A = this chain, B = another copy of it.
Amino acid sequence: MDLVNVFDFEEAARAALDRNAFDYYLHGANDEVTLRDNRAAFDRIRLRYRILAGIRDRDLTTLLLGHQLSMPVLAAPTAFHKLAHPDGELATVAGVGAAGTGMFLSTLSTVAMEEVVAAAAGPVFFQLYIYKDRELTRDLVARAVAAGCSAIALTVDAPVFGKREPDIRNRFHLPEGIAIENAAPAGYGGFPDDPGGSGLTGYVNSLMDPSISWDDLEWLVAASPIPVLIKGVVRGDDAARCAEHGASGIVVSNHGGRQLDTSIATIDALAEVVDAVDGRLDVLLDGGVRRGTDVVKALALGAKAVLLGRPILWGLAVDGSRGVQAVLDIIRDELDTAMALCGASTLDEITPDLVV
């Protein structure tokens, strides 16, 4: 089977994975209205390309928080990579590095962050959930800094976990031998099978702190010598507050449609967020990015870069680090083509007039 686009990788991953894992990765919350709309919203945007722009080559590189990336596309934080491949996040970071870009590493990684960062060729941003156990949380931040992570990305769209119904039906669980390695030393590394539903949801809703607030952001910014990003913003007023409370960046995200169903599609929320922060910090976006033209649209509407979530997992499931790299290379090629066809030789030339 030819793997021509990231949808092909999804189909190949469907064949490669068991249902517990594939459904966990694939699905969203409730009726999946947002999951579908994240994607559909990109397809509703039309491109008005420029002609005769005199472009011989495209430069896709960008500088994000001081890190040189081969393109404005990073791996989004996703959990439990060992469900997709025995090497787990090590394979992911290897593929991401081979592609010359950076990776967001989940708190719920199945490989310890120190190992992941050690294997990384590019920046690793540590995605943080704040546990009710603040000792554990403080320890995670300290470990991330010590390990060499380049930033902390605080997830704010998941004070409790969304209702992911396939996981309830599947009694989603971690197979023998797979643990949340970042939390394992503190005793929070696994969750039991839950005969009543998703073990993960029980884990998160019992251990994570739903009450995190702007004060916690201030605490985190003060405690962290590395930049703090806020992931899960969909409103301008919240985005402005992030800037005011010391965040270094924002990820416009609705958690890939896995949290609050019928929340606004990320690409539809982007312009308001960009307008509100008014250049004070970098705005990233995830949710529904599947084509190079999606990257063009996000950048035209003001994003600095985008994060790729599920497609990275499909690549990982299909062929480990090579699969991850292949997925990123597909997006890179599509982005390069889209820029050429739009008449943009650099990312700065991806301007708002390109979209309608």
Stretch binding the partner chain, chosen from A108-116, A185-193, A232-240, A308-316: A232-240
What's the minimum C-beta distance from A269 to chain B, rounded to whole angstroms?
Answer: 7
**Closest residue of chain B to A37, judged by CB?**
B46
Q: Which residues of B contact A2 (CB under 8 A)?
A: 168-169
Cβ-closest chain B residue relative to A158:
B341
Contact with B along A224-251 (1 / 0, CB 8 A): 0000001011110010010000000000
A74 at the interface (CB under 8 A from B): no
Q: When the two chains form their complex, are residues A159 and B341 in contact, meaning their CB atoms are under 8 A apart?
A: yes
Q: Which of B33, B56, B230, B261 contacts A51 (CB 8 A)?
A: B230
Contact of A48 among B216, B263, B343, B356 (CB under 8 A): B263
Q: Which of A233, A241, A264, A337 has the most CB of B within 10 A?
A: A337
Note all chain B residues with C-beta closer than 8 A to A222. none
Closest to A8 in B: B165
Q: For A262, list chain B residues within 8 Å (CB).
A: 42-43, 45-47, 291, 293, 297
Known: A30-B291, A52-B217, A213-B54. Is A163-B334 also a contact (CB below 8 A)? yes
Is A301 close to B, CB under 8 A?
Answer: no
CB–CB B264/A356 < 8 A = yes
Count of residues in A whose CB is under 8 Å from the partner chain: 67
A244 to chain B, nearest CB (A): 12
The 8 Å CB contact of A211, one of B55, B342, B356, is B55
User: Bound state CA distance, A263 and B355, in angstroms?
Assistant: 9
Report how far A56 CA is from B211 CA in the complex, Å: 4
Proximity bits, A28-58, B CB within 8 Å = 1, else 0? 0011010001000011011111111111100
Q: How far is the CB of A124 from chain B (nearest CB, A)?
A: 24
Is A282 on the interface with B (CB-CB < 8 A)? no
On chain B, the residues within 8 Å of A217 by CB distance are: 52
Q: Are B46 and A260 in contact (CB under 8 A)?
A: no
CB distance from A298 to the nearest CB of B (A): 13
Taking the nearest CB of chain B, how far is it from the CB of A29, in angstroms? Answer: 9
A50→B156 CA distance, assembly (Å): 9
Q: Does A210 have its Cβ within 8 Å of any Cβ on chain B? A: yes
Q: A214 to B50, alpha carbons, bound, how many Å?
A: 11
Q: A51-B233, A238-B52 known; A30 and B210 CB under 8 Å?
A: no
A174 close to B (CB within 8 Å): no
Additional A-B contact list (20), CB under 8 Å, known A4-B163, A54-B216, A263-B341: A4-B169, A5-B30, A30-B293, A31-B43, A37-B46, A45-B262, A48-B264, A48-B269, A49-B235, A50-B235, A51-B230, A51-B232, A51-B233, A52-B238, A54-B215, A157-B341, A159-B341, A162-B337, A260-B338, A261-B291
Q: List 12 A-B contacts (CB under 8 A).
A: A5-B30, A30-B293, A46-B264, A51-B156, A51-B233, A52-B156, A54-B215, A160-B337, A162-B337, A163-B334, A260-B342, A263-B341
5 nearest A-B residue pairs (beta carbon): A54-B213, A56-B211, A260-B341, A51-B156, A46-B264
